[in-house]
Structure 1
Amino acid sequence: MTETLSAPDGYATWLNDLKTHIRGAQQQASVALNSAMIQLYWDIGHEILVKQETEGWGSKVVERLAGDLRRAFPGMTGLSRANLMYMRSFAAAWTREAVVQRSLDSLSWGHNIELLSKLKSAEERLAYAAAAAEHGWSRAVLVHHIGLRTLERSGRAISNFERTLPPETSDLAREIVKDPYNFEFLGVGDEARERVIEQALVDHVTQFLVELGVGFAYVGRQVPLEVGGEDFFIDLLFYHLRLRCYVVIELKAGKFKPEHLGQLNFYLAAVDGEMAHADDAPTIGILLCQSRNQVVAEYSLRGATQPLGIAEYQLRASLPSVERLQQELSGPGVCDTM
């Protein structure tokens, strides 16, 4: 009869520590392996470039090289002609130092292919590469954000954050507010009423959070707020984890009007007074409208004492094309964004 060995005191903690150490080492090895592979691909691409430039070799050499390399390394993937051409483009786009210093070697090869094929300028590629590395975007999520031009829309809203927020938070506040917001995923037209759009946003809250960006946590829709014995209802309420503050979003179907800010300004003051904790930062308001006059919006914010931003949103005004439907039905999901 086999005698069961009892674990000595402290064994469980010791075992967990060892498991953590092993997993950490495995992750480091995986990162190092990916970095080495990306740098190898740059080296191969650079060699192809040099030979074509100095020897005048044509594209047929790449096809022959692909076959020879696959025969020499039968267990190695990624040696197709198409992939060798991507390696050539990769080496043409970056210096080896840039690959390492700009963390391009921390992204998968698939990420780098998407950066090369979907973005034209080095500045755009580096910006999306940095965002993908920082937020842990998968390849599918990177493609999603490139398609929506997420980074180009960040920080473009009209706001008074610089005047109403401390310097250490005003920059981040400007960064988190986009302009315009893309609500195509709702599938409603421009004629939709505010409540219809609000409900659609809640029904698609996962995609709504993706569009809002990193750090937003959904609190609720038509959130009740009692002030002086009267009941009020906030359209959409969020909490931003990095800013440590509530964010009130008011949605207006149609063109921006200065009087829209009066109600939003009241909601911000009420949330600060009735809901926020003492250690929360001042509540931020975002007014979303279908269109706005730049000058009117700027003048409207001049007298506001609460931190407010004004941005536009876009809806799909007509039925999508057959090609668009096929793309959406066959495309990857975006639920693994952050």
Structure 2
Amino acid sequence: MDRELTDNEGYAELINNLKQKIQTAQNRAILSVNRELVILYWEIGKSILDKQEKEGWGTKIIDNLSMDLRKSFPDMKGFSVRNLKYMQKFAKTYSNFEIVQELLAQLTWYHNLTLMEKIQNFNERIWYLNKTIENGWSRNVLVHQIELKLYKRQVLEKKTTNFDLTLQKPQSDLAKEMLKDRYVFEFLTIDELAREKEIENQLTKHITKVLLELGAGFAFVGNQYHLEIAQNDYYIDLLFYHLKLRCYVAIELKTGDFKPEYAGKINFYLSVIDDVLKTKQDNPSIGILLCKTKNRIIAEYALRDMNKPIGVSEYKLIARIPDELKHILPTIEKLESELESGLKKVGTGNNMLPNKKMKV
């Protein structure tokens, strides 16, 4: 009888639903504990600051507090002198408790320490904070993005596009936010003289790391995406679908300087994609030209009269790490593993769409 029960479809559905509910509750409990811990640390830091200000106490108070708190809570970690000083700095850095409640409490204490120690500009710190929440970055991935100056490349640097002329708001603003002026492919094991095909093959081989550099929302469709037009064959280097922009994104790689004729070619590809692949629910497709270098003035003239949304960006390959330094640095595989874990939590960024051929 018991065997018959466990083989029953209704029972299987019940046990799967219960497992899901338990797992969801466990995740909520973990998030709740983390939230309460961050808020507690802020309150401790604020109390220390208030007493020092009102009573004129010096730094010795932290030594005494550390000793007494560890004596009162021997099983609880986090009350070292060093960590209490971090709590004090945390409360001083974020005097507005609403920010702590609404944003900072969504991250772990170690994420918050990383942002506080590595980013001095408040607006930049809040930007990284929001991106970490949005993308589910681990602490190591966050550090990686900070070291690659993601904020500067995606927010501060001027971008070369015709999005304002070819897209309606807010799509044009979202597209500009998506684009980086420079892309850094530090994970490629090739040198600066590599050919376009070699770079493309490496990018496809390391597609998860490419998705990390491109940003959240990109889903890989295929490389050397085949277009047959009037019995002629054409191939798009890399084709993606952007889940947030709801549009296809075609990327063409160029190992040299930007040339005006590149804009005409990708404009042609976008016309075909919009005519054959794009559905009524999709927004206009976007093209990105990735060049080794670009002259901004020439690129802007080339894009001005194009009728499809196109951006021109540079890419950079990082020199290989000397063997004697490799053992002290986190591996790309470790960063990739943490990225995949974060993407599973947010449900975007590493989605794969089936590769299709288009024939016109």
Q: TM-score, normalised by structure 2?
A: 0.84
Match of 2:122 in 1: 122
> Aligned partners of 1:174 and 1:327: how far apart in 2?
37
AA matched with 1:144: H
Query: Secondary structure of the equivalent of 1:336?
Result: helix
Structure 1 residue 288: Cα displacement: 0.7
Match of 1:235 in 2: 237
> Aligned partners of 1:3 and 1:250: how far apart in 2?
60
Structure 1 residue 134: Cα displacement: 2.0
AA matched with 2:326: L
RMSD value, Cα: 2.6
Q: 1:215 to 1:324 in 2, by over 3 A?
A: farther
AA matched with 2:197: R
Match of 1:270 among 235, 250, 272: 272
Pick which of 70-79 and 140-149 moved more.
Answer: 140-149
Match of 1:178 among 177, 180, 196: 180
Structure 1 residue 334: Cα displacement: 3.2
Match of 1:320 in 2: 321
Structure 1 residue 226: Cα displacement: 0.2
Q: Structure 2 unaligned segments of length 5 or more: list them.
A: 344-360
> Aligned partners of 1:260 and 1:10: how far apart in 2?
59
Match of 1:138 in 2: 138
Match of 1:200 among 186, 199, 202: 202
Structure 1 residue 310: Cα displacement: 0.5
Match of 2:70 in 1: 70
Query: Relative contact order: is structure 1 or structure 2 higher (C-alpha 8 Å, sep ≥ 6)?
Result: 2
Q: 1:57 to 1:189 in 2, by over 3 A?
A: farther
Match of 1:83 in 2: 83
1:79-113 deviation line (CA, Å, top 9, x unaligned): 12221121111011002524435411111111111
AA matched with 2:38: I
> Aligned partners of 2:151 and 2:250: how far apart in 1?
22
Structure 1 residue 169: Cα displacement: 1.7
Structure 1 residue 27: Cα displacement: 3.6
> Aligned partners of 1:9 and 1:226: how far apart in 2?
48
Q: 1:24 to 1:202 in 2, by over 3 A?
A: closer
Structure 1 residue 186: Cα displacement: 0.8
> Aligned partners of 2:265 and 2:91: how far apart in 1?
55
Match of 1:304 in 2: 306
> Aligned partners of 1:293 and 1:161: how far apart in 2?
18
1:176-233 deviation line (CA, Å, top 9, x unaligned): 1111101121133322221221112112211111100111111222122100011111
Structure 1 residue 158: Cα displacement: 1.0
Structure 1 residue 255: Cα displacement: 1.2
Pick which of 327-336 and 168-177 moved more.
Answer: 327-336
Contact 1:144/1:334 (CA < 8 Å) preserved in 2? no
Query: Secondary structure of the equivalent of 2:137?
Result: coil
> Aligned partners of 1:83 and 1:258: how far apart in 2?
56
Match of 2:150 in 1: 150
> Aligned partners of 1:82 and 1:146: how far apart in 2?
24
1:11-47 deviation line (CA, Å, top 9, x unaligned): 6666655555554444433333222211110111122
> Aligned partners of 2:144 and 2:268: how far apart in 1?
36
Q: Percent identity?
A: 45
Q: 1:229 to 1:171 in 2, by over 3 A?
A: same
Contact 2:94/2:100 (CA < 8 Å) preserved in 1? no
Query: Secondary structure of the equivalent of 1:334?
Result: helix
Match of 2:224 in 1: 222
Instruction: Give the count of matched residue pairs.
Output: 336
AA matched with 2:240: F
Contact 2:221/2:241 (CA < 8 Å) preserved in 1? yes
Match of 2:164 in 1: 162
Match of 2:288 among 286, 292, 298: 286
> Aligned partners of 1:201 and 1:277: how far apart in 2?
28
1:93-150 deviation line (CA, Å, top 9, x unaligned): 0025244354111111111111111111221111111111122222222222222222
1:39-74 deviation line (CA, Å, top 9, x unaligned): 110111122223444444444442332222112101
AA matched with 2:120: K
Match of 2:335 in 1: 333
> Aligned partners of 1:5 and 1:292: how far apart in 2?
69
Q: 1:10 to 1:310 in 2, by over 3 A?
A: same
Q: 1:227 to 1:186 in 2, by over 3 A?
A: same
Q: Structure 1 unaligned segments of length 5 or more: list them.
A: none
> Aligned partners of 2:3 and 2:232: how far apart in 1?
68
AA matched with 1:121: N
Query: Secondary structure of the equivalent of 1:154?
Result: helix
AA matched with 1:246: Y
Contact 1:102/1:126 (CA < 8 Å) preserved in 2? no
